[in-house]
Chain A
Amino acid sequence: MNKMIELLIHQWKEKIRSPFWQKSIWLNIVLGILGTYLMMNVLVIGYFADVILKKIFTDTDVVESFARILFYYFLIDLIFRFVAQQIPTLSIQPYLTLPIPKNKLLHYPLIKSVSSFINVLALLLILPFFVKVICSTYPPLFCLTWIITVLSLIATNNFVNFSLKKYFSKRPLLIMLLLAIVGLVIYLDVNKFISFSLVFSADLLNIAKLPILVLIPMMIVILSYYIGYNLLKKNAYIEDLQISQRNNSANLSFLSQYGEIGNLMSTEIKMILRNKRPKSLLFFSPIFLAYGFIFYKGPDIDNYMILIFMGFFLTAAFGVIYGQYSFSWESSYFDSYIANKISPFNYVKSKYLLFAVTSVTCFIITLPYALISYKIAFINAAMLLYNIGISSIMLLLFCTYNTSRIDLGRSQFMNYQGTGFTQFVSIIPVLGFPITVYGVFNYFNMPQYSIYVLGLIGFIAIVFNKYLLQVVERQFVKRKYKMALGFRQI
């Protein structure tokens, strides 16, 4: 156990001595405040859950309705964990030749994962309800088995996520399938086709009433832990397998005909597809395209501000989120780009074109929203022009102030490496300008004309993009030394 504590201390030191922690104190403070605020909110929801549930489900026992909510919670929690929960990854290589039993090194990340912030949130949600409602209503043995079962489900989600991340992150299509299955289960339950939540709620109560059955969820926890442990143990073998099975896909040879720009775009696309961080961005960005189902309904369909915002977002979601880290993506080999025969103009233009291609792709994918209202298609087309013409240039200009290195091998989610002041500030003019244009025209009761203006501005910018890109190029050349210096800091 002493060795385990030593490993915990080492990981803490690794975290606080990382360049990101030391260079971005203010960001960590902001995140800390947000995290605390989130915890307080969850605690309050947990405490008043009985009141909330009584108001929503007036004719259902509050314990049963809480259990049914837990069903949805655990499903969504599993997906959320996969997306957001970081697996503790103390690099074990330096320890492999030391007199530390290997199984201790393998147990470490699993045990450490229990202290995840997401688990803390789960406890803050469930414990207040347990103390306030369950303990005051049911006998002690019932309460004990109920809480053990629920804690077992939290732990199971934790360890199953571990296995999912280790196994499925190399198979993103399976992740999409998992998401689809979860979505289907929720859909079937909400629409009362199959009441999974009712079954879950009944089972939870049955286990609590018959204590011996608590062994089932406990054994599931042990099984999920064991599966995670074995996956870790086999990790090296799995990686070897990955190399030999690799088919080095992404045949982008067609881009060669476009000269240096095509060469650079081809390399950047390979970078996206072959590295965890940009790849996870790519595979989860389609989720943003589904936001239309939330916003394109009811009175919002006539609200031009919502329509402009959605048009901006749907046609540039991936472009903006990915584009905010332009140049930083190449941080680990930036020296290669500036020492080799690569024209700065072509480098900048290749990024602009990639932004344009992704924006057009998003626009085409979201065209079916026009079936909800024809206005959507026109507005999105105008915002597409604006994004390609203006947003891309603005982002590239701001990105010349990126100086933080990005480790391409780590997942994007809850990973703030490379994030700095630039990412927060850049979105203000990029999104603020169209909103301002809308505001001006709305003041004169002509909100619809803002669409034409934004589309026209975008179109003009596309026509003159060569000159705008030259501005970016000059800025890049001016800033390249500072960028290179920042990117070299590991």
Chain B
Amino acid sequence: MIQINNLKKAYGKKVVLSIDELTINEHELVGIVGNNGAGKTTMLSLILDLIEPSRGSVKSKDQLVSKVDDWKNYTGSYLNEGFLIPFLTPLEFLEFIGKLHGLNRTDVLTFINENAVFYAEDITSKKYIRELSAGNKNKVGILASMLCSPEILILDEPFSNLDPSSQSWLKSKLKKLNDEGVTIMISSHDLKQVTDVCSRILLIENGIIVKDKNTNAETLDELESYFNIN
């Protein structure tokens, strides 16, 4: 579904990402792990055409993401606060995203009700997004990414700043979406969450994928050993 070929991103002489070939297949739930600055967010940003590659290409359904915008019709994503419009209320923001995909207010409210456990705050609150806590901002971004029933879902550190029950909800939701056929890519520092949720793990170090394997019972131990966690 997503094909990366000969992809490289450099800032000056410093190469921050270099991937010869990578394919994310349909219905996969891929976890990306790595140290801070390893290149996880860079990789996701390149897939979402937020930054220009120094070399190489990213294709989604055989179309170059940098040339054709069709991928935006079926891709939901949330990387960071820069994806949120700070002066809108959460409901206004979700309505804005919904309208881009032809959803009306009723559709948006139905979606919110279905996921009310996750965003427990009053969605009709007059608080602007910029006034929300870090965790609630994250929740709004994650909900926005799922709103339009995407075929591909890309989330960067979605579990960060979430309370334990929200993390648990999100884990279940991601598995459910994946069961329904959604291709998902998430990055996370939480090795346990990632190995619980994901069927495939990519380990990035210094911009290179050093491990690419399907998850099994030993994956968590392997990762903890790699990161020297006791």
Tell me the A residues contacting B by CB distance below 8 Å: 243-244, 246-248, 256, 260, 263, 267, 270-271, 274-275, 332-336, 338-343, 408, 481, 484-485, 488
Contacts and interface: CB of A to CB of B under 8 A. Distances in A.
Interface string B14-45: 00000000000000000000000000000000
For the complex of A and B, the 9 pairs showing the least CB-CB separation, nearest first, are: A481-B52, A341-B72, A274-B87, A335-B82, A336-B83, A341-B100, A246-B126, A333-B85, A263-B99
Given A339-B72, A481-B51, 15 more contacts: A243-B126, A246-B126, A247-B126, A263-B100, A270-B88, A271-B87, A335-B80, A335-B83, A338-B49, A340-B100, A341-B69, A341-B73, A408-B86, A484-B51, A488-B82
B96 interface: yes
A392 B80 CA distance: 32
Interface in B61-86: 69, 72-73, 77, 79-80, 82-86
Contacts of B50: 335, 338-339, 484
Contacts of B92: 248, 270
Contacts of A408: 86-87
B186 interface: no
B119 interface: no
B97 interface: yes
Nearest to A253: B105
A341 B83 contact: no
B100 A333 contact: no
A242 to B, nearest CB: 10
A333 B126 contact: no
Contacts of B99: 256, 260, 263
Q: Which of A247, A271, A335, A488 has the most CB of B within 10 A?
A: A335
22 contacts: A243-B131, A244-B126, A256-B99, A260-B99, A263-B96, A263-B99, A271-B85, A333-B83, A335-B79, A335-B82, A336-B83, A338-B50, A339-B48, A339-B79, A340-B72, A340-B100, A341-B69, A341-B73, A341-B148, A342-B72, A408-B87, A481-B51
B96 A267 contact: yes
A241 to B, nearest CB: 12
A332 B97 CA distance: 17
A256 to B, nearest CB: 7
Contacts of A270: 87-88, 92
B100 A260 contact: yes
A271 B85 CA distance: 9
B77 A339 contact: yes
A343 B69 contact: yes
B89 interface: yes
Given A339-B72, A340-B72, A484-B50, A332 B96 contact: no
A260 B103 CA distance: 12
B65 to A, nearest CB: 10
A336 B100 contact: no
B79 A333 contact: no
Contact of B88 (A243, A267, A341): A267
Nearest to A334: B82
A267 B92 CA distance: 9
Contacts of B86: 332-333, 408
Contacts, number: 72
B49 A248 contact: no
Given A335-B79, A484-B51, A341 B101 contact: yes
Contacts of B88: 267, 270
A335 B148 CA distance: 18
Interface in B89-111: 89, 92, 96-97, 99-101
B126 A248 contact: yes
A254 to B, nearest CB: 14
A336 B85 contact: yes
Interface in B114-149: 126-128, 131, 148
B83 A339 contact: yes
B104 to A, nearest CB: 9
B150 to A, nearest CB: 10
A336 B51 contact: no
Contacts of A243: 126-127, 131
A392 B73 CA distance: 30
Contacts of B77: 339
A222 to B, nearest CB: 35
A67 B5 CA distance: 77
Contacts of B51: 481, 484-485
Contacts of B100: 260, 263, 340-342
A336 B89 CA distance: 15
Contacts of B69: 341, 343
A340 to B, nearest CB: 6
A270 B91 CA distance: 14
Contacts of A338: 49-50
**Max chain B CB contacts within 10 Å: which of A333, A339, A343?**
A339
Contact of A333 (B49, B73, B84, B131): B84
Nearest to A271: B87
Contacts of A488: 82
Nearest to B148: A341
B52 A333 contact: no
A333 B78 CA distance: 12
Nearest to A490: B82
Nearest to A275: B87
Contacts of A274: 87, 128
Interface string B181-201: 000000000000000000000
Nearest to B99: A263
A332 B50 CA distance: 14
Contacts of A267: 85, 88, 96
B97 A340 contact: yes
A28 B88 CA distance: 34
A238 to B, nearest CB: 14
A187 B85 CA distance: 45
Given A243-B127, A263-B100, A248 B82 contact: no
A248 B97 CA distance: 19
Contact of A248 (B85, B89, B148): B89
A282 to B, nearest CB: 14
A271 B86 CA distance: 9
Contacts of B101: 341
A484 B51 CA distance: 8
